[in-house]
């Protein structure tokens, strides 16, 4: 074991080996293992190559498309289960992309088809009509597609 005297002539200190930097994949894996989520970047950034060429409306621009059917990207944030007046299950879901958090409404048919597959572990391609009320808008979801995980 080798010791060096500090620059100020004080107590000797031990040379400690430096492990070097982790590669990107290892760093991201450690973040998820330790925290349960990524903190060094938005998880959607990992899907950049898979999204190239897709005609998607960013979350921040959804309110500009009221009345139109659009396709957007979303990372599940949270959800609130509700019922229609007729007692059918439906759900209000918050999604985010790298530009905004936005609301999506799953009426009974869409709820039955898609909501059991939603979780916060991967992104979704959402298709639906943008509806606007008093300056707020929501995506009325008609289709959900899973986006494949990056390698």
In the chain, where the domains are located: 54-146
What is the per-residue pLDDT for 122?
84
What is the per-residue pLDDT for 13?
65
Mind listing the pLDDT tens digit for each residue in 6-61? Answer: 666 666 667 777 777 877 777 767 767 777 767 777 788 888 888 888 999 999 99
Contacts of residue 118, defined as CB under 8 A and 6 or more positions apart, other chains included, come to: 76, 79, 93, 124, 144
What is the per-residue pLDDT for 44?
84
Mind listing the pLDDT tens digit for each residue in 103-126? Answer: 999 999 999 999 888 887 889 999
DSSP string, 98-147: SS-EEEEEE-HHHHHHHGGG--TTSEEEEEEEEEEETTEEEEEEEEEEEP
Mind listing the pLDDT tens digit for each residue in 67-92? Answer: 999 999 999 999 999 999 999 999 99
Q: Is the pTM of this model over 0.85?
A: no
What is the per-residue pLDDT for 134?
78
What is the per-residue pLDDT for 64?
94
Q: Which CATH class is domain 54-146?
A: mainly beta
How far is residue 35 CA from its own chain's centroid?
15
What is the per-residue pLDDT for 140?
97
What is the per-residue pLDDT for 76?
93
User: 110-115 contacts: CB < 8 A, separation 24 or more?
Assistant: 110/141, 110/142, 110/144, 113/144, 114/141, 114/143, 114/144, 115/79, 115/91
130 with 104: CB under 8 angstroms?
no
Cα dihedral 59, 71, 89, 149 sign: negative
């Amino acid at each position: 074991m080798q010791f060096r005297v500090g620059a100020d002539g004080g107590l000797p200190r031990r040379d400690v080996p430096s492990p070097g930097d982790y590669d990107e994949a290892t760093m991201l894996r450690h973040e998820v293992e330790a925290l349960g989520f990524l903190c060094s970047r938005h998880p959607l950034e990992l899907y950049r190559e898979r999204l190239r060429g897709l005609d998607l409306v960013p979350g921040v621009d959804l309110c500009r498309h009221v009345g139109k059917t659009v396709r957007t990207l979303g990372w599940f944030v949270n959800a609130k289960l509700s019922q229609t007046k007729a007692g059918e299950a439906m759900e209000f879901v918050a999604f985010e992309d790298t530009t905004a958090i936005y609301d999506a409404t799953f009426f009974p048919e869409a709820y039955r088809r898609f909501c059991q597959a939603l979780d916060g572990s991967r992104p979704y391609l959402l298709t639906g009509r943008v509806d606007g009320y008093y300056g707020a808008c929501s995506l009325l979801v008609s289709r959900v597609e899973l986006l494949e995980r990056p390698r």
